Chain A
Amino acid sequence: QQQVKQSPQSLIVQKGGISIINCAYENTAFDYFPWYQQFPGKGPALLIAIRPDVSEKKEGRFTISFNKSAKQFSLHIMDSQPGDSATYFCAATDPYSGAQKLVFGQGTRLTINP
């Protein structure tokens, strides 16, 4: 059972545009929602994360929007740059899993055209 559904699977955005990636979850026990950026052949890097007690978090050009009632959260990349081209994964943590395991979305391959 896929607990975190991510869309779109791939995304092409022009340089300077806004990239938006969406995730939806079912488990209301999830209480930590990170986004990871992964370049080919590298491990994922923590980009930004949010807890469910806030609706938005911004760090530089990256913003997470969180809608608890809809059980959805999204990543917005403002002024997208070619260097942002990577695969992005949303994830969620269930505090009752015992070890705060991450449940990952399927990933979105983002391409920023120059």
Chain B
Amino acid sequence: GAVVSQHPSRVICKSGTSVKIECRSLDFQATTMFWYRQFPKQSLMLMATSNEGSKATYEQGVEKDKFLINHASLTLSTLTVTSAHPEDSSFYICSASDRGRYEQYFGPGTRLTVT
């Protein structure tokens, strides 16, 4: 149980275009979803937290107009990187948790490369 999927696993896009990453909880209701960014050999950096049906809460320093997050259902959250630039290239990982539970379950990650 507690499986979280992400799609796509890898994406290459040109500078200036937008990219959408999907995160799905497959066997539980994800009342809260989190989006992280991870640079090589570094720890996970929380970008934003979203609750189903509510606006996302962004961490300090994360541009909410650049990283659009939608959590429209209890099983799906999306992250859209708008007007991507090479510095946005990174490993993006989502996680999900059920209401009232501490456990966060992570997706397999999406490798974004902006050329």
B107 partner, pick from A43, A46, A89, A101, beta carbons under 8 A: A43
Interfacial residues of chain A within 48-67, with CB under 8 A of chain B in the complex: 49
| Range, interface on chain B | 20 to 34
B residues with CB within 8 A of A: 2, 4, 6, 32, 34, 41-44, 46, 49, 51, 57, 91, 93, 95, 97, 102-109, 111
Q: How far is the CA of A106 from the CA of B106 in the complex (A)?
A: 17
Q: Are B102 and A104 in contact (CB under 8 A)?
A: no
Q: How far is the CA of A41 from the CA of B109 in the complex (A)?
A: 8
Question: Given A34-B103, A45-B106, A46-B103, does the pair A107, B42 have CB atoms closer than 8 Å?
Answer: yes
Do most interface residues of chain B lie in helix, strand or loop, or is the interface mixed? Answer: strand
Q: Which residues from A are CB-within-8-Å of B105?
A: 46
Q: How far is the CA of A99 from the CA of B41 in the complex (A)?
A: 26
Question: Given A44-B93, A105-B43, A107-B42, does the pair A100, B108 have CB atoms closer than 8 Å?
Answer: no
Besides the contacts A34-B102, A43-B6, what 19 more A-B pairs have beta carbons closer than 8 Å? A41-B91, A41-B109, A41-B111, A42-B108, A42-B109, A43-B108, A45-B106, A46-B103, A46-B106, A49-B103, A89-B43, A99-B32, A99-B49, A99-B51, A100-B32, A101-B34, A102-B34, A102-B95, A106-B43
